[in-house]
A and B are shown apart, each in its own frame.
Chain A
Amino acid sequence: MKDLIKITLNLAILFVVAGSILALVYAHSEPQIVRVVKMEKEKALKSLIPDASVINSAGAYEPIEGRTSHYYVARDRNGKTIGYIASSWSKGYSSFIHLFVAADPSMRIKAIKVLHEEETPGLGDDIGKQYFQDRFKGKTLDELVVVKAPDPTKILAVTGATISSKACTRGVRTGLEFLIKTYGPQSVAGGHNKDSLTEGSQKHK
């Protein structure tokens, strides 16, 4: 009986002390964390379309079940629309991949950015690296196909991580498809000549 009281008291004191320490640390770091995460997101958006002067949230959609994504419109100083960004989710090899897709008004990919993935370290997590993300630059919806041998009009998979590469590409595809559906298929069919590019940007003047 004496032991029981002692043990209870023991645990109670330990939990109260440790809980207070945690609460103190949390109270100090939480506002900072919110700030940092918001800043990181703004930085990520800006890095996708560097010449944009404002990037406004335009709404939200659901790329895969249970995950909400936001999409954004980027405008330059004169208020002309110069691009769109959609965040997107996709199920990878061992995690959910969260990414940004940026497209110009002709719906050609400007850049992508993987925000979060927990794929196999050293293999699948290479999809988060710049060299892989650069492979999406300038691609149209039809060109978002993963291949294992180099092909400049397709997406070359990360060596040894075809599943993660495909998952990432699927996420990009979902995002781009959504942007096309929302902002018009200015050049989905052709999309290779300059005319369609200027046409697209004119529409949004």
Chain B
Amino acid sequence: MSTAGKVSYVGLVKNGIFGENPIFRLAISLCPSVAVTNTLKGGLLMGVAVFFVQTLSNVSISLLRNFIHPRIRLPAFIFIIAMWVTVINLLLEAYAYSVYQQVGLYLELIVAFAIILARAELFASKNKVIPSFFDGVGMGIGFLFALLAVSFFRELLGSGSLFGYQIVNAKPVLLFVLPAGGFFVMGLLMGFFNWIDMKFFGGQGASGAAH
């Protein structure tokens, strides 16, 4: 039982990173992702923030899943998510002001992230606390990983730098810093992940495997 349980927890985390990667497979929360991924730093900070909110919301919603009335579950979920975002916001502003100055702008947007509400509705409200925790961790890491991958290419091609350090001295392609370039990079990476899935794992690609 315990070994079987362990495997499925690893599976849940893996599912968030590959099988149902929020950006590359589920293709949700793309809009804020495009907004923050023109620098690697922006992608990293946002990814970490989403990781915490996702995990905390999943755990608290799972804990309350039998208490929340089904007919008001969505407002209740949003309320819980908003509470965690506010808590993180206040704590960052008080105890890590320099970080807050970097992410403060994006942090409040997390309340409206589709991925967090989607996991609350699809997973946390139907599963026990521990699996929900691992689902949150997996989705959080998957989101972070996707943002890092996209912002890596966008900053390298669009600014010629990584984490603000100049790497390439040639004139960069400005397009990649702009939202349009973000969609190009995201689309190409999405295709790349589909290709890997089909080539090596016998999958059908994200569109065929959608549920």
Interface residues of A (CB under 8 A from B): 3, 6-7, 10-11, 13-15, 18, 21-22, 25-26, 28-30, 32-33, 36-37, 40, 118, 121-123, 159-160
Set of chain B residues within 8 Å of A122, measured between Cβ atoms: 38-39, 42, 155, 158-159, 177
Set of chain B residues within 8 Å of A10, measured between Cβ atoms: 67-69, 72, 76
Shortest distance in angstroms between A28's beta carbon and chain B's nearest beta carbon? 8
Q: Indicate which residue in A6, A11, A36, A160 contacts B177 across the interface (CB closer than 8 Å).
A: A160
On whether the beta carbons of B71 and A3 are closer than 8 Å, the reply is yes
On whether the beta carbons of B95 and A14 are closer than 8 Å, the reply is no
Bound CA–CA A29/B88 (angstroms)? 11
B interface size (C-beta, 8 A): 31
On whether the beta carbons of A29 and B83 are closer than 8 Å, the reply is no
On whether the beta carbons of B94 and A14 are closer than 8 Å, the reply is no
On whether the beta carbons of A25 and B90 are closer than 8 Å, the reply is yes
Interface residues of B (CB under 8 A from A): 35-36, 38-39, 42, 64, 67-69, 71-72, 75-76, 79-80, 83, 86-87, 90-91, 93-95, 97, 105, 155, 158-159, 174, 177-178
Q: Indicate which residue in B36, B87, B178 contacts A21 across the interface (CB closer than 8 Å).
A: B87
Bound CA–CA A21/B75 (angstroms)? 18
Set of chain B residues within 8 Å of A28, measured between Cβ atoms: 94
- Nearest B residue (CB) for A31: B94
Report the 7 A-B pairs with minimum CB-CB distance, sorted nearest first.
A122-B38, A29-B94, A32-B94, A122-B177, A29-B90, A18-B83, A36-B97
Set of chain B residues within 8 Å of A11, measured between Cβ atoms: 72, 75-76
